[in-house]
Structure 1
Amino acid sequence: MGMRVKEEIKVIGVDCPTCIYNIRRSIERKNLNIELEVDVSTGSAFIIYDSEKTSLAEIAEAIRHAGYDVEKSVVRIYTTAREADACSREEKLERLPGIIDARVSPLDGLAVIEYNPYTLTHGRILEYISRLGYRVIEEERVAAKREIVGLGVRRVLAFILATTVLVVHHAGFLEGLLGHHVTNSLIAVLSSIVLALNYDVVYTGLKPLTRLSPTMNSLIALSSTTTFVYSLAVLTHSLLNSGGSTDVLFFESSAGVLGFVSLGKYIEERIERRALSRFEELARRLEGRVRALRGNELVELDIEDVKPGDLVEARSGEKILVDGVVVEGKGYVDKSVFTGELEPRLKKASSRDPVLAGSILVNGYLVIRVTRVGEDTLLSRMLGIARTAQFTKPKFQRIADKIVGYLTWIVILLAIATFTYWYLFKGAPLDQAVLFTAAVLAVTCPCPLGIAIPLVVALSIIKSMDAGLLVRRGDLFEKVHYANMVVFDKTGTLTHGKFTVVEVVPLNYSFRDLLEYTCIAEKRSEHLLAKAIVDYCSAHGINPPDPDDFTPLPGLGVLAEYKGHAIVVGSYTLMREMNINVEGIEIQRLEATSSITSKVVYIAVDGVLRGVIVLGDKIREEASDVVKALRERGYEVGILTGDVESAAKNVAEKLGIGKVWSELRPEDKARTVEDLQKQGYRIIYVGDGVNDAIAMAKSFACIAMGGGSDILRETGDAIIVNDRLSSLIHILEFSKIARRKFIENLGWAFIYNAVLVPIAMGLLYEPFNIVLRPEHAAIAMILSDISVIANSTLILKWTPRFRTESK
């Protein structure tokens, strides 16, 4: 029986007993044996669970699966955790009470930890990390950079001293000058310094051994300390007994292992930092000072001192450091960081154009009213999303993590077996058995297994950002490879989603009254059609008052009341459900014959149909090429839409799409996706992320069309920031490249270990007298590590091959 833990949590989104019932059902389906008591009025809850059988992370996942969430706090810190041991740190953190989720990047040591603020504090989390044997470098990146610089100096110095030890040992020229014992003593001192310079490797390697959870550094630490302690014991005995032999010292092996590992890690870290420097470049776009209007004067301020509502100035060639709206001037702005487009766009005050932090004013002059600053800016949020995305592990990575967890133990057992075989069974001298044992520990390389996929994912995310794609989940590249069907929403995805009013048809009602009642109802709606109708009213001088009551009906329309009049605006289905007579209205007569798709909105006042408004929306120019490319790649293609059947089939016929489901509500779309996936389809759903949120959540993978503030939506494994449908094909192309790198890196890691570990154990010693010394084993190990990193960085050279014929 494990320890029973009682925790207070807060459940977000509950407001009735039905909510609690749904949460309990979700917990039961996941077979979680917990006690749950929830206060419906506040969402406060107490849970009691067995900490050895269930984690808070599993409970939170069950609550989210029911459609609710758990209040949580997030801490982001940089630690000394690296590479193959990152996954084991995640597992240990997630098992601790109060931890909801823990992700440790094997690339830069960034740890993102979600925790329950009702049972844990920030300080307690730092204590947890220290107890696991890792130092917190700093919570600010500037201090982390200082740590990296100091670490680089130690790595290079350790390599120089280790090289000196190897030269002195193998050349032997000092023995004639200083004598045998003095030379060996000097080598021992230099080796001690190398050991001290690599104290972090030794410490983070030996400490996990005390908890029976060895890491890659454990193997290095065991190899170097074994040969060092053995040599120190032999040297000490020789000095105390003048007749003792010192022919079997391995100080050079100890120093060589740590020296070459130091050089290798230094090279690795430089390659990784250079490859991942795109994150730093983007972050620097948010740094600097701005000129803000204070009274009648322009004052230069740090960006931290600027607040929403302030007016700031931007001149030609300057970075824009805030999100805001242009209120004075005009100019051409380079926003390629968001869209990948190199051509600057005109921004002017007359149309109150928005501008984003991270853009560059190529020429012109702008005064900007600040809407967001600092961490709230769109670019900062994008960087946060991109950094977090690498923590979502592909299936390949989960398999590799499990292998790494076992590999270190297997290697330690092989090292023990090697020593036992040579010393006890073969009768080899003690120094030879120690040599083989140290070589086995030094040659084994779990690092490529630990870093092979995370680096590919991180670089893929960076490259995707350059192509106008914001990847939210690192497993997207793997998921789209296994998908076999792409389903599109119609409006705003296959079409531009920019509706304009084509015709207003009053039915025994005045034109102006029809528009006024329609706009009263649509004024508070955020739907694309509503905005187009309200804009049309404004153009005709109609400024509608607010409704007395307003009820949105997703996928159907809206209900409103104004001065006692009941207003219904929406689809044909809504009219039927409200028992409003719509017979005799020919909705197909205005169906477009070109690339226009029409949408009919019905308006009823006090239960009587008073007219219809027809809106038009253009099919995207590249849609036909994208659908054709998908079919050529073996994907089936379909449309799920809430639009009427005639409009949906019109678009499908023009694009050559055979599967169409129309007149669907959001929940109908979700059920259709579920039904299709039960038939064996693995669906990529492409939509706008608003009415499609439920269907997206049910699909195998989901991609949202977006731009501007749409990027901040939680829906979608990826968001097409540049609003180009052709970017969907780029994702598919890129997933193929990323998967190939996954396989290449993992394959190389397995082949390397399978070939060199037996040689290190002495397989070739008796037949060919070939011995792999520990320092040479360390060189091979680190070269393997570097080769994996170098192969991964080739992703940055990838360029999209797909081009649409349309301009």
Structure 2
Amino acid sequence: MPKTSALNAIKTPISQDSAKLEEKIQTLTLPIKGMTCASCSNRLERVLSKQFGIIQSQVNLALEQAHIHFNPKLISTQAIYQLITQAGFTVPMETLDFNIDGMTCTACTVRLEKVLDRLSGVSKVAIHLATEKAMITAPTGVLSSDTVITAVQQAGFTAKPLLSVADREAQEKAQTSAKDRYELRQLQLAALLTFPLTLPMLMMPFGIHIDLAPWIQFLLATPVQFWIGRHFYVGAYKSLRGGIGNMDVLVSLGTSAAWGLSTWNILISSNDYLYFEASAMVITLVLLGRRLEGRAKRSAASAIRALMALRPATAQIERAGKIITIPAEQVVTDDIVLVRPGEHIPVDGVIIEGSSQLDESMITGESLPVARGKGEAITGGSVNGEGLLRIQATTVGAESTLARIIQLVENAQSSKAPVQKLVDQVTHIFVPVVVTIAFLTFAGWWLLEGSTETAFKAAISVLVIACPCALGLATPTALMVGTGTAARHGILIRDAIALERAQNSDTVVFDKTGTLTEGQPAVDLVLPVEDSAETLLQLVASAQQGSEHPLAKAVLAKAQGMALSPPQNFRNFPGKGFSTQIQERTILVGNRRLMEENQIDISLLQAQAATFEKTGHTIIWVAEINSPSRLLGILTATDPIKAVTSQAISSLQSRGLTVVMLTGDNSGAAQAVADKIGIKQVIAEVLPEDKTNQIQTLQAQGRRVIMVGDGVNDAPALATADVGMAMGTGTDVAMETAGIILMRGDPSLVTAALSISRATYQKIRQNLFWAFVYNILAIPLAAFGMLNPVVAGAAMAMSSVSVVSNSLLLRRWQPKLI
């Protein structure tokens, strides 16, 4: 993967006012605590979206995150935090401590405080001149040390974190572990108190009758209801204060009604209808369900944790002739890093000494180790094999390949599939509808049978069996697991829209050079008209100096060792070639079209060129356009077809997809390659600016088009296609434009990308079907008195677990070997 800085996706021209607005928009991804079901995430999203200054918001229940686009000129981050708090949720905060060097007076602290306060996400900044320390409060995980260090340096100071990334991750892990232990103790205590209440029901099938005294039932159920179950009341209160009900409202209503009526019957000495076991059992089962759901959600997010685990905590660098160990995040560009056998590469860099086999499987999905030697670029997160390496750091921190991959996967997991809009509409009215059904159920049974016991049981069952959680988790959990699994195999899916379009596509368009072929052509013949082959090669190589075009590299490789003259007055003709001046001679180098446009007579070599083209050769025409203009000769080059290309094309065609080759190469060479690999439709000799038009022509025919490319020239076509797929061996422009990035230059990954996209969407459909059908069937069954409250509570608790567990099955997905 190229190590140049990432470029923005190519966009269509916009007005100056729109451009200024886009410059002001910031993006904030916040952790959110307190969401228990889809109603919560839907309500928070509506609250945020209505706020002036917030352009767009997406709230993800499975990830417990809010992705917010806002204008900082119109609303501050602090106001956003307050808005979330007023809606009944919390944004967990952390404090980052730094040592600051270079402050000399109070003016320094004021200036630095203003700089840090402008960083996205910062809630509070405190600078202490006497202790030379800075304390920055921000949402957990939002602000990186690299961002702070860079901002401090730009302000004219230096900063060093008191805690490394590894220490902070250890702290977070300890806090999560402590919370997990607390929740487990609460569940165990609830189960311990509930078990005696369930004994009469459990022993009844065996003919054993156990009667617990009413006051003992009261003493056992009350702590479960109001101490262990207190967070249901807190959640319900916050939800109702925000203007809409959630799952906590349903659980609180159902269990409170059961406990309240039972307590009333004790007070009036009527012990016939006691439902303490129902209220306690429902709370215990819901707690169990949420614990299992939480474990499943953490498992679903394992892909991100696995990627983060690739970053080593420390790095060994050479400074002042000594090898020192520092936190990996403190490595800066151009540092010399020492990597011993078996260690993770801490940063992107170039090998300046040594060679080794690197395990890049977690980055590219390539299972076999890759040989790397002096002068080659390597990716941070790879595992060094048997060699000792000295590496010069090139990109570090947020700009590193691994950091960008993690960011891309996180963005994909937090995106919303189009089908989620329907789910949001349903969950918005879900709780009021369920409460209404419960009321009607009670009224119906009471009026028809006159039995308050039957009416009461049926109403409680309706309240506790209804489950908006399964609806809310159906789509995001499948996206989490699907995009994470894809990333493990070298397929980076940018968002849910790209995933949906990919699984629905019917046409795949491939660029030729570097996508179907190796992208490393070699010159195999130099055919001059008058001069010697050596003179012609020397002239063309002189003209190609400094070019990064694959054909230019092939010419320069062929001319290695020759004395070359410097080119002057270079002029490029995109998709055709170029002209330049070599020692008073104006040289034209390019394709047949360029020669024809300049009225160059090519008849002398036309027949021979056509013969070479039919065998797959690319022809480089060379002419001199001084008076008089004349043809100097041709060079032929071949670009080897990738070993798996034919099988990849066959695999796509066997799935019913139409495969098209789109290339700027001559039609003869393009057709020769197409015949070898089995592509039937070829669009050749297309200028870079016309590739977009060709994609639009296919779309006008009703086709849903995937464009696969790797170069700068492919970027507009990638953006125009329904889904753009960029090879990871290509340019940053192509990768930033594409909806799906293939981390290896392997055409078979296109088939794999389509496979995981379809598998993920199939899971989304299965989850939504189950979630909708569950509620459609379960609520009427409960209303008709066919389910008691305990069974209803168990079913509700397990419904969410079943949806998440079904999504986890995607982790078994493996690309078919070609």
Identify whether the pair has TM-score above 0.5, normalized to the shorter chain.
yes
Q: Which residues of 2 match residues 57-456 of structure 1 at below 5 A?
A: 70-80=23-33, 81=35, 84=38, 85-138=40-93, 139-141=139-141, 142=169, 145-146=173-174, 148-171=176-199, 180-181=214-215, 183-196=217-230, 199=231, 201-228=232-259, 238=267, 243-245=268-270, 247-349=272-374, 352-423=375-446, 426-429=449-452, 432-456=454-478
Alignment equivalent of 1:698, drawn from 720, 723, 729: 720
Relative distance call for 1:555 and 1:417 in structure 2 (3 A) is farther
Whole-Å Cα distance in 2 between the matches of residues 287 and 365 of structure 1? 17
After superposition, what is the alpha-carbon deviation per residue over 1:621-641, rounded to whole angstroms, capped at 9, x for unaligned? 222222222222212221111
Whole-Å Cα distance in 2 between the matches of residues 218 and 558 of structure 1? 71
Relative distance call for 1:83 and 1:691 in structure 2 (3 A) is farther
CA RMSD of aligned residues (A): 3.4
Whole-Å Cα distance in 1 between the matches of residues 772 and 501 of structure 2? 24
Whole-Å Cα distance in 2 between the matches of residues 308 and 669 of structure 1? 38
Deviation for aligned residue 1:536: 4.1
Question: Partner of 2:355: helix, strand, or coil?
Answer: strand
Letter in 2 for 1:678: A
Deviation for aligned residue 1:406: 3.7
Whole-Å Cα distance in 2 between the matches of residues 458 and 567 of structure 1? 55
- Verify the 8 A CA contact 1:487 1:637 in the aligned structure 2: yes
Q: How many pairs align?
A: 727
- Counterpart in the other structure of 2:96: none
After superposition, what is the alpha-carbon deviation per residue over 1:304-346, rounded to whole angstroms, capped at 9, x for unaligned? 2211100011111111111111111222211111232332222
Structure 1-normalised TM-score?
0.82
Relative distance call for 1:541 and 1:424 in structure 2 (3 A) is farther
- Verify the 8 A CA contact 2:660 2:679 in the aligned structure 1: yes
- Counterpart in the other structure of 2:796: 781
Q: Which residues of 2 match residues 751-790 of structure 1 at below 5 A?
A: 751-761=773-783, 763=784, 765=785, 770-773=786-789, 775-790=790-805
Whole-Å Cα distance in 1 between the matches of residues 212 and 435 of structure 2? 39
- Counterpart in the other structure of 1:598: 618
- Counterpart in the other structure of 2:480: 458
- Counterpart in the other structure of 1:9: none
Question: Partner of 2:385: helix, strand, or coil?
Answer: strand
Whole-Å Cα distance in 1 between the matches of residues 280 and 622 of structure 2? 82
Whole-Å Cα distance in 2 between the matches of residues 554 and 213 of structure 1? 58
Relative distance call for 1:610 and 1:405 in structure 2 (3 A) is farther
Deviation for aligned residue 1:368: 0.6
Q: Which residues of 2 match residues 645-660 of structure 1 at below 5 A?
A: 645-660=667-682
Whole-Å Cα distance in 1 between the matches of residues 647 and 10 of structure 2? 45
Whole-Å Cα distance in 1 between the matches of residues 617 and 251 of structure 2? 66
- Verify the 8 A CA contact 2:86 2:242 in the aligned structure 1: no
After superposition, what is the alpha-carbon deviation per residue over 1:374-405, rounded to whole angstroms, capped at 9, x for unaligned? 32221121111112112343344443333333
Deviation for aligned residue 1:596: 5.0
Deviation for aligned residue 1:79: 1.0
Whole-Å Cα distance in 2 between the matches of residues 256 and 481 of structure 1? 43
Matched, 1:614 2:625: no
Deviation for aligned residue 1:367: 0.6
After superposition, what is the alpha-carbon deviation per residue over 1:640-675, rounded to whole angstroms, capped at 9, x for unaligned? 111121122112222232211111123322112112
- Verify the 8 A CA contact 2:618 2:669 in the aligned structure 1: yes
Letter in 2 for 1:374: G
- Verify the 8 A CA contact 1:208 1:215 in the aligned structure 2: yes
Deviation for aligned residue 1:552: 4.6
Whole-Å Cα distance in 2 between the matches of residues 486 and 795 of structure 1? 25
- Counterpart in the other structure of 1:44: 20
After superposition, what is the alpha-carbon deviation per residue over 1:571-606, rounded to whole angstroms, capped at 9, x for unaligned? 333444455555544276375589854243545555
- Counterpart in the other structure of 1:540: 561
- Higher RCO (CA-CA < 8 Å; seq separation 6+): 2
Question: Partner of 1:586: helix, strand, or coil?
Answer: helix
- Verify the 8 A CA contact 1:195 1:255 in the aligned structure 2: no
- Verify the 8 A CA contact 1:673 1:695 in the aligned structure 2: yes
After superposition, what is the alpha-carbon deviation per residue over 1:109-155, rounded to whole angstroms, capped at 9, x for unaligned? 13332323433333233223223322112433546545543442343
Letter in 1 for 2:551: L
Structure 2-normalised TM-score?
0.81
Relative distance call for 1:291 and 1:114 in structure 2 (3 A) is same
Whole-Å Cα distance in 1 between the matches of residues 565 and 805 of structure 2? 62
Relative distance call for 1:204 and 1:565 in structure 2 (3 A) is farther
- Verify the 8 A CA contact 1:478 1:739 in the aligned structure 2: yes
- Counterpart in the other structure of 1:723: 745
Whole-Å Cα distance in 2 between the matches of residues 564 and 71 of structure 1? 51
Relative distance call for 1:604 and 1:248 in structure 2 (3 A) is farther
After superposition, what is the alpha-carbon deviation per residue over 1:447-483, rounded to whole angstroms, capped at 9, x for unaligned? 2222122222221222222322222223444323322
Relative distance call for 1:346 and 1:189 in structure 2 (3 A) is closer
Whole-Å Cα distance in 2 between the matches of residues 588 and 250 of structure 1? 95
- Counterpart in the other structure of 1:628: 650
Question: Partner of 1:364: helix, strand, or coil?
Answer: coil
After superposition, what is the alpha-carbon deviation per residue over 1:509-565, rounded to whole angstroms, capped at 9, x for unaligned? 67677666655654454433333334445x2344664756x5554433345568987
Question: Partner of 1:673: helix, strand, or coil?
Answer: helix
- Verify the 8 A CA contact 2:623 2:632 in the aligned structure 1: yes
Q: Which residues of 2 match residues 564-579 of structure 1 at below 5 A?
A: 568-577=588-597
Question: Partner of 1:38: helix, strand, or coil?
Answer: helix
After superposition, what is the alpha-carbon deviation per residue over 1:271-321, rounded to whole angstroms, capped at 9, x for unaligned? 222242232122011131111101111011111221110001111111111
Q: Between 149-158 and 301-310, report the one with greater CA deviation.
A: 149-158
After superposition, what is the alpha-carbon deviation per residue over 1:684-721, rounded to whole angstroms, capped at 9, x for unaligned? 22222521222222222222222387598212221221
Question: Partner of 1:76: helix, strand, or coil?
Answer: strand
After superposition, what is the alpha-carbon deviation per residue over 1:414-456, rounded to whole angstroms, capped at 9, x for unaligned? 1232233234565432x65443323212111222222122222
- Unaligned 5+ segments in structure 2 are 1-7, 94-138, 142-168, 204-208
Q: Between 522-531 and 365-374, report the one with greater CA deviation.
A: 522-531
Whole-Å Cα distance in 2 between the matches of residues 702 and 558 of structure 1? 29
Q: Between 282-291 and 116-125, report the one with greater CA deviation.
A: 116-125
Alignment equivalent of 1:641, drawn from 643, 663, 666: 663
Matched, 1:733 2:755: yes
Letter in 2 for 1:443: I
Question: Partner of 1:501: helix, strand, or coil?
Answer: strand
- Verify the 8 A CA contact 1:572 1:602 in the aligned structure 2: no
- Unaligned 5+ segments in structure 1 are 1-11, 25-36, 46-68
- Verify the 8 A CA contact 1:518 1:603 in the aligned structure 2: no
- Verify the 8 A CA contact 2:350 2:391 in the aligned structure 1: yes
Question: Partner of 1:600: helix, strand, or coil?
Answer: strand
Alignment equivalent of 1:556, drawn from 555, 576, 588: 576
Letter in 2 for 1:696: L
Letter in 1 for 2:32: T
- Verify the 8 A CA contact 1:683 1:701 in the aligned structure 2: yes
